[in-house]
Amino acid sequence: MRVVIAGGHGKIAKLLERELAGRGDTALGLIRNPDHAAALRAVGAEPVVCDLEHTDADTLTAHLAGADAVVFAAGAGPGSGAARKDTVDRGAAVLLADAATRAGVRRYLLVSSMGVDTAPPEGTDEVWAAYLRAKKAAEDGVAARDLDVTVLRPGRLTDDEPAGRITLARHVEPGAISRADVARVLLALLYAPATAGHTLELVGGDTPIADAIAAVAA
């Protein structure tokens, strides 16, 4: 499988790239900073320099040639303001969907966030509220394209070792999940095309990943 990952230098992305490479799949990571290329090669991925905030659909489409799937794991990141939450977390996700449509790449995994279904409560930090609104707008924008989309909404992310056991459903109680387990769930979703059309919340739990994915696919 040939998979293009937006936000290729992110923590989840690099874990997913390592998982894909370990299976003999090809992972291409889209990165803004060429200095990050060595880090991608170290986990077995092919770096592709492409700034999603300063490119167009035609250029991005060319990078998707021959891909079987795309994964949007990009984000404006800590320290960014509300404006970049929109241009990256929403705008880049929709741009990737447009490019995937043009390139004929139907499978699209979108890493979103729990908590986007409801409006941020009064008093929520402005930047965090902008992040949640951008993620929900990204979900809506990507879903409007003719693609086979799975939206994954992880809970609070940790850098713990992977447990391999999760809770995965349309709605789950708030909780934490390791980035390593998120990467393994994304890998399993790539190999479970019947999960297209689902929006799934994800936290740690008691169910092995393979069984949780199989239950969703069924």
Q: Is the pLDDT reported for residue 80 higher than 80? A: no
209 contact partners, CB below 8 Å, separation of at least 6: 164, 165, 166, 181, 184, 185, 188
**Residue 84 pLDDT more than 90?**
no
Position 8 scores a pLDDT of 97
Average pLDDT over residues 39-47: 98
pLDDT higher than 90, residue 191: yes
pLDDT band per the 50, 70, 90 thresholds, residue 75: confident
Share of the chain above pLDDT 70, in %: 100
Instruction: Answer whether residue 146 shows pLDDT above 90.
Output: yes
pTM for the structure as a whole:
0.95
Report, as an integer, the average pLDDT of 64-68.
98
Cα angle: 30, vertex 40, 48; to 5 degrees: 30
Instruction: Please name the residue ranges forming H helices in the chain.
Output: 11-23, 37-42, 57-63, 82-84, 93-103, 126-143, 179-190, 209-217
Q: How confident is the model at residue 180, as a pLDDT? A: 98
The pLDDT-based confidence of 35 (bands split at 50, 70, 90) is: very high
By the 8 A CB rule, do 29 and 43 touch?
no
